Amino acid sequence: MTRACTDCAAPITAKSRTGWCRPCSAKHLNSDPAIHARRVAGIHRKFAEDPQFKAEQAARLLVNASTPAAALARVATGKRIAREVLARPDVKALTHSPEARAKRGRTMVNTKLAWCPEEWRDSYRRMLSGGTLAKDAKAMILDTVRVEARREVAARQRAMAEKHARELASRY
């Protein structure tokens, strides 16, 4: 007796317990959130137990992601998402909302001012509004930060040297 897949009517063996052909069965398994969660947990467990395996997987991902085919696939995915998702009116309403704009503004500031330590950003803005050229303000802040960092390193080295000297002194 021949049987047919419930989903695509492909012939399946009489032994099939699910009633699906192999591809359809895989599709169902892959779309089950509980099964997906179990798989992810299993992978995380394996990664935690076997750092070398994790490193090998990461290296392989990097290699695979750098092929021309992978780059083309990324472009295609981006285009498809732009067409099918970003162009949707409900998504557009979200991405054009004042909150979304404000968030993008903040992200842009973080990207543009990535060179500037967060605690210096207000000073930077004050310098600009006080008429300092952006490149001069940046140079001044970076200089100050460098001097501070050097001073901190020097202080730490001094502290270590003093500790060492105290230890030497206490030996005799």
* CA dist., res. 149 & res. 155, Å (int): 10
Considering the complex, state which of residue 16 and residue 132 has its C-beta at the smaller distance from Zn ion: 16
Of 9-17, 70-78, 87-95, 106-114, which part binds Zn ion (CB under 5 A)? 9-17
Nearest distance, CB of residue 80 and Zn ion, angstroms: 25
Please list every residue from 113 through 142 that binds Zn ion, using CB under 5 A: none
Locus of tokens 């990664």:
47
User: At its nearest, how many Å lie between Zn ion and the CB of residue 39?
Assistant: 21
Alpha helix stretches (DSSP H) within the chain:
22-30, 33-49, 51-65, 68-81, 89-95, 98-112, 121-129, 134-171
Dist CA 48 CA 36 (whole Å): 18
Residue from the set 1, 3, 4, 8 that interacts with Zn ion by CB under 5 A: 8
Q: Which one of residues 1, 2, 4, 7 is an interface residue with Zn ion (CB under 5 A)?
A: 7
**3: part of which helix (H) or strand (E)?**
strand 3-4
Q: State how beta strands 3-4 and 11-12 pair.
A: antiparallel
For helices 134-171 and 121-129, give the axis angle rounded to 10 degrees: 140
155 counts as binding Zn ion under rule CB under 5 A: no
Kindly give, in sequence order, each residue whose CB lies less than 8 Å from that of residue 114, ignoring residues fewer than 6 positions away.
none
Size of interface with Zn ion, in residues (CB under 5 A): 6
- Binding segment (CB under 5 A) for Zn ion, from list 13-21, 104-112, 115-123, 161-169: 13-21
Residues 23-52: x where in contact with Zn ion by CB under 5 A, - otherwise, as a string: -x----------------------------
Q: Least separation, in Å, of the C-beta of 30 and Zn ion?
A: 14
Q: Which residues are at the interface with Zn ion (CB under 5 A)?
A: 5, 7-8, 10, 21, 24
